[in-house]
Amino acid sequence: MDISLVRLGIATLLLFGLIGAASAEIITKKMPNGLSAAADFYQGDEDKPVVLILHGFMQTHDFSTVARLANSLKDEGYTVLVPTLTLNINNRKQSLACEAIHTHTMQGDVAEVLDWIDWLYNKVQRKITLIAHSAGSTHLLATMEGKTDPRIEKLILISLLHFHEDPLSQNTLESYQRAQDDIKQGRQGLFIYDLAFCKKYPSEPEAFLSYRDWVQERTIQALNSLMLPAVIIIGGNDNRMRPAWRDALISTKVDVITMKDAGHFFDTQFEFDLLDIVIEITSE
């Protein structure tokens, strides 16, 4: 028997075993809206935290900020679930364009988050830390506002924004008021609004307002109504966040950590600093 071939075979099996161990388990399940959704799941160590990480507005679980954090926490031995919201698209795998037809709602998104919490808790039977980036943090606020849930350990809200009108977004008061008038007048169908970073956002009035209603005051109110431990992490150089919004966040009862010089996406060297902070918070 050729010993070199045996060694090569063993090495190959070990290599594929390591790759398999590092790969995500793809979880596909039916959501409350009847559509299929997928999530990456990493089974971690029993003595390490369990986290669910939610992507930002119209993105997927493959978005860089979320994917980097998920992979890093997985490497630390965490149990990690990273779902993609359907946004009313069956088995959605790509980010949604501004110009697409948007029939999804904040209420529908919240129902999906709760469904994934149910799945994860039933899987591991341990408390979960909820983490989200950007508008995903608003989704978590809407999910946990004024509630207690013994399954949830804490919330970590990264780069938390709002859907209020301001110069750093496409949100305008005219579009907001027009949608309210569309509902008042009983107008049905699709209309072009503006929302977040989208100058043209085709949507139904009710669906549009389900997000747009999360103005500054609404978001601050939700933060102050949280009945679970929460931490906000913001970048000191986040060009999507006005100083007045930073001050408003700091004025809430929620702890705010500012990472000097980091941007909205915590990329380049700041991804490691973000990881350190998240590990510190989840280990407390």
Beta-carbon count within 10 A of 267 CB? 14
The torsion angles phi and psi of 5, rounded to 5 degrees, stand at: -70, -35
**pLDDT, position 22:** 57
- Tell me the C-alpha distance between 249 and 240, whole Å: 14
Q: Strand 191-195 vs strand 198-203: parallel, antiparallel, or unpaired?
A: antiparallel
Per-residue confidence in pLDDT tens, the chain, 284 aa: 343 433 344 344 334 333 334 589 999 999 999 999 999 999 999 999 999 999 999 999 999 999 999 999 999 999 999 999 999 999 999 999 999 999 999 999 999 999 999 999 999 999 999 999 999 999 999 999 999 999 999 999 999 999 999 888 999 999 999 999 999 999 999 999 999 999 999 999 999 999 999 999 999 999 999 999 999 999 999 999 999 999 999 999 999 999 999 999 999 899 999 999 999 999 98
Distance CA 235, CA 274 (A): 10
**pLDDT digit string (tens) for 58-85?**
999 999 999 999 999 999 999 999 999 9
Q: Write down all domains in the chain, each with its CATH number in brackets.
A: 24-93+105-162+215-283 (3.40.50.1820), 165-213 (no CATH)
- Which pLDDT does position 166 carry in this prediction? 85
pLDDT computed for residue 1 by the predictor? 36
DSSP class of 102? B
Task: Phi first, then psi: give them for residue 81, nearest 5 degrees.
Answer: -120, 130
Cα–Cα distance between 155 and 194 in angstroms, integer? 29
| The two three-digit tokens of residue 187, written as one number | 């107008």
What is the percent of the chain with per-residue pLDDT over 90, rounded to a whole number? 90
Instruction: Identify the sign of the CA torsion 42, 48, 52, 54.
Output: negative
Q: Which two tokens stand for residue 190?
A: 């699709």
- Which residues, listed in sequence order, are joined to residue 191 by a DSSP beta bridge? 203
pLDDT of residue 37: 98
End-to-end C-alpha distance for the chain, whole angstroms: 55
Report the half-sphere exposure of 54 (CA within 13 A, side-chain side): 34
* Residues 171-185 pLDDT 10s: 999 999 999 999 999
Q: Which residue has the tokens 């039916």?
A: 30
HSE-CB of 174 using CA atoms within 13 angstroms: 5
